[in-house]
Amino acid sequence: MNTEKIWFDYNKDLKKFILSKVKDKDVSNDILQDVFIKVHLKITELENKDKLKQWIYQITRNTINDHFRKNKLTLDADKIDLPEETTEPKPNRQFAKCLTSFIKSLPKKYKEAITLVELNNISQLKLAEKLQISYSGAKSRVQRGRELLKAHFSDCCDVKTDRYGNIVSHKSNCSTCQI
């Protein structure tokens, strides 16, 4: 299955669907991008190609739900804390603690970019305005921060996801995660 064809077939409808739920064009674009990243990474796991549309919309609904769950956290770049009580399944809570440790260890400019974009859900365009840098500079900063986080996880953790990209188990192989 070709991700490019899927994009052309579904991106307009998905964009409308997402925008109807989140009511913010920049956020809906970010969510749409996340959806297609998950689709691209997990397309080989789709067992029944006849259910492609339902599968994509399920990923989209889950990603929108993740967005709203993340919005319940109010975090700033210098203080990253998780709420005491959470309804997230245990693997997600453990992963969040590990993720928090890794974010805290990033250089300040990447920590700030990741915290604002990924945890506080501001768009990369708004990040650029806030930091008074170019839009491409903001995008590069977020991308570099993500790469650094991925490198931390590759070195330290074993993360298993379901076919929608949701974490089902997380095992730390280092002391950095503090779990």
Residue 179 lies in a domain: no
CATH of the domain at 17: 1.10.1740
Cα–Cα distance between 168 and 84 in angstroms, integer?
Answer: 21
Q: What is the mean pLDDT of residues 158-178?
A: 66
User: Within this chain, do residues 110 and 167 fall inside the same structural domain, yes or no?
Assistant: yes
Residue 77 lies in a domain: no
Cα–Cα distance between 15 and 69 in angstroms, integer?
Answer: 20
User: Within this chain, do residues 55 and 123 fall inside the same structural domain, yes or no?
Assistant: no
User: Within this chain, do residues 67 and 109 fall inside the same structural domain, yes or no?
Assistant: no
Residue 177 lies in a domain: no
User: Within this chain, do residues 54 and 95 fall inside the same structural domain, yes or no?
Assistant: no
CB count, 10 Å around CB of 14? 22
How far is CA 42 from each of CA 71, 119, 131, 164, rounded to the nearest angstrom?
25, 23, 34, 7
The length of the chain in residues reads 179
User: Within this chain, do residues 109 and 160 fall inside the same structural domain, yes or no?
Assistant: yes
User: Within this chain, do residues 111 and 161 fall inside the same structural domain, yes or no?
Assistant: yes
Q: What is the mean pLDDT of residues 39-43?
A: 87
Q: What is the pLDDT of residue 50?
A: 87
Residue 118 lies in a domain: yes
Domain count, the chain: 2
Residues 85-112 pLDDT 10s = 344 444 455 566 667 778 888 899 999 9
User: Within this chain, do residues 100 and 38 fall inside the same structural domain, yes or no?
Assistant: no
Instruction: List helix spans (H) across the chain.
Output: 3-22, 25-42, 52-71, 90-105, 108-114, 124-131, 135-156
User: Within this chain, do residues 140 and 102 fall inside the same structural domain, yes or no?
Assistant: yes
User: Within this chain, do residues 64 and 112 fall inside the same structural domain, yes or no?
Assistant: no
User: Within this chain, do residues 63 and 103 fall inside the same structural domain, yes or no?
Assistant: no
User: Within this chain, do residues 168 and 94 fall inside the same structural domain, yes or no?
Assistant: yes
Query: Per-residue pLDDT for 2 more than 80?
Result: no
CATH of the domain at 122: 1.10.10.10
pLDDT band at 177; cut points 50, 70, 90: low
Residues 123-159 pLDDT 10s = 888 889 888 999 999 999 999 998 888 787 777 777 6
Residue 76 lies in a domain: no
Higher pLDDT, 86 or 166: 166
Global pTM exceeds 0.75? no
- Check: CB of residue 122 under 8 Å from CB of residue 138: no
Q: What residue numbers bound the domain in which 17 lies?
A: 3-71
Residue 114 lies in a domain: yes
